[in-house]
Amino acid sequence: MNVEDIRKDFPILDQQVNGKELVYLDTSATSQTPAPVIDAMTAYYKEYNSNVHRGVHTLGTKATDGYEKARMKVRSFINAKRYEEIIFTRGTTAAINLVARSFGDMVIEPGDEIVVTEMEHHANIVPWQELAKRRQAELKFIPMEADGTLTMENVKAAIGEKTKIVAITHVSNVLGTINDIKEIAKVARKNDAYISVDGAQAVPHMSVDVQDLDVDFYAFSGHKMLGPTGIGVLYGKSELLDDMEPIEYGGDMIDFVDLRTSTWTDLPVKFEAGTPMIAEAIGLAHAINYIEEIGPQAILEYEQELVNYALERMRTVEGIEIYGPDKRAGLITFNLTDVHPHDLATALDSEGIAVRAGHHCAQPLMKWLGVSSTARASFYIYNTKEEIDVFIEGLKRTKEFFSYEF
């Protein structure tokens, strides 16, 4: 892959921030958007802006065609068995909440266990906490190793005959830990449990085959994979989705409405109440096209090259503490001794370097790490080793500044 050619497709990168060339290292929060995605969404608004599924006129037909072709593109991208298994949502958070509220309320009985981990994003903890409260179930955590990884011994010990749902991230947004979802799913199956996966940090960066993983539900977001904000995907096995009740009502999701009763239409529209994210779905499809043109394997290999280079360089910075395993996805969470992460991020921003600072929507994990917050640098296809060098020099200058005795 030619990174310089790729960078030309991202107009936002061609700017200065605070008088310095922008170095964007915050993809784990939101990736940047290439011109083909922007152009596709602009074309929708300029040429065929219309609602879907509701009209026979030309613009409505073209909009519906674009929207449903996007669903087929997603189905192919993650190798779902049927297009009906692809539900468009507002994002990963909305997708997980749909599973917890609809499927969870359907299958969880008092005394059942819901198994999660301490590395989860709040979006993959809070919905299960609330489900456990509603259904008098128990929330159980798989213990982590010191480097933030899971062992299969601990997985097998945590998932038992009382387990009904396993909810787990594919890739940690803080540690970069890559969980072995296929093996964890096998353990869930042996215990007659279901498995729901937060794939927000995985789908943009590696090949994901939901049939091979044998997961029941898998959620991810468009804005972390070169697409627009405001759209996500819930994959669910059709036999489970068929039995689930919608949690939002109105619009195309109805079949028949009487004064006191209503019935629902078929999958996937049953879970897509109201006017859907039409332009966003079209943008997501073009983002997938962009990823496929480069190749998920090429993206994974390049990110591994970047993150390994960054780890090597960061370890030369005095007073740095890096969290997570050596083998990780393309992100690094860290702290500098005596420098608050927000001060660090502010100092780096003054040099045009964008990193994330805070608890990263993972307060239980911060507690496990023994810190209140951290800084995080994350990498993608448009980043370079030269940018990492700029980042390292920025870290060193920040450390020197805050170590100076006035």
Of 105, 176, 139, whose CA–CA distance to 333 is shortest? 176
pLDDT at residue 54 in the model: 78
Last residue of a domain, one of 240, 264, 292: 292
Residue 336 lies in a domain: yes
Residue 67 lies in a domain: yes
Which residues form the domain of 321? 3-25+296-404
Domain holding 217: CATH number? 3.40.640.10
Residue 30 placed within a domain:
no
Secondary structure of residue 338 in the 3-state scheme? coil
Asked whether the beta carbons of 228 and 41 are under 8 A apart, the reply is: yes
What's the pLDDT at 406? Answer: 43
DSSP 3-state percent helix, strand, coil across the chain (nearest 5): 45, 20, 35
Q: What integer pLDDT is reported at residue 404 of this predicted model? A: 57
- Reported as type and span, the H/E element at residue 258 is none
Which residues of the chain have a pLDDT value below 50? 405-406
Q: Is 165 left (phi over 0), alpha (psi -120 to 50) or beta?
A: beta
pLDDT at 146: 98
Residue finishing a domain among 236, 261, 292 = 292
| Total structural domains within the chain | 2
Instruction: Indicate the SS3 state at residue 197.
Output: strand
Catalytic, 361? Answer yes
Render pLDDT for 15-31 as a digit per residue (tens, 0 to 9). 999 999 999 999 999 99
Q: How far apart (Å, rounded) are the C-alpha atoms in residues 190 and 280?
A: 39
Out of 361, 363, 371, 397, pick the active-site residue: 361
> Residues 59, 159: one domain?
yes
193-245 confidence digits (pLDDT tens): 999 999 999 999 999 999 999 999 999 999 999 999 999 999 999 999 999 99
- Is 213 in the same domain as 200? yes
Residue 95 confidence (pLDDT)? 98
Instruction: Check: CB of residue 125 under 8 Å from CB of residue 98.
Output: no
Residues in the chain: 406
Evaluate whether residue 33 is within a structural domain.
no
CA-CA distance, 55 to 50, in Å (whole number)?
9
DSSP 8-state code for residue 98: H
Please say which residue of 292, 319, 344 terminates a domain.
Answer: 292
Residue 32 lies in a domain: no
Whether residues 144 and 241 share a domain: the answer is yes
For the CA atoms of 187, 189, 191, 197, the dihedral, rounded to the nearest 10 degrees, stands at 70
C-alpha to C-alpha distance for 276 and 194, rounded to whole angstroms: 28
Q: Per the domain annotation, does 56 fall within a domain?
A: yes
Do 303 and 282 share a structural domain? no
**Domain co-membership, 310 together with 344:** yes
